Amino acid sequence: MAKQAIRRREASAGELRDLAREENDLIKKRFLQTMAQIVCIPHVKFHALWASDFAVTLINRIHPGDLDAVGKERQIQIELLENIL
C-alpha cells in the first residue's frame, strides 16, 4: 500500500512539473512548481511549508504589503491541495 501511495504522489508531482514546464506565466509556473514540491514530499513537512511560503514570497514581491493578495494565494493553495490530494 505505501509503495502505491508513493508512486501516486510521484506521478502527481510529475504531472504538475510537466504543467509548470509548459506554462508561460511566471506566477502560474512558480505555483505549479510549489505544488509539485508539496505533493512529492508530504512526509517532510518543513519542505512543504517552505514550498508554500516560496509562493507567498513571490506574491509579496509582485504586490508588496498587500495582505489580501497573500490571503488569496493561501486560499488558492488550499483549494488546489484539496483537489490534488
Q: Supply the pLDDT for residue 58.
A: 87
On average, the pLDDT of the chain sits at 82
Q: Supply the pLDDT for residue 22.
A: 94
State if pTM tops 0.75: no
Number of domains in the chain: 1
User: According to DSSP H, which parts of 1-85 are helical?
Assistant: 2-22, 26-40, 45-62, 67-84
Provide the 3-class DSSP secondary structure of residue 42: coil
Domain containing 23 equals 2-84
Number of helices (H), then strands (E), belonging to the chain: the values are 4, 0
All cell numbers assigned to 60? 509579496
Cell 506554462, residue located = 23
pLDDT along the chain (85 residues), means of 10: 76 90 89 83 66 85 92 86 68
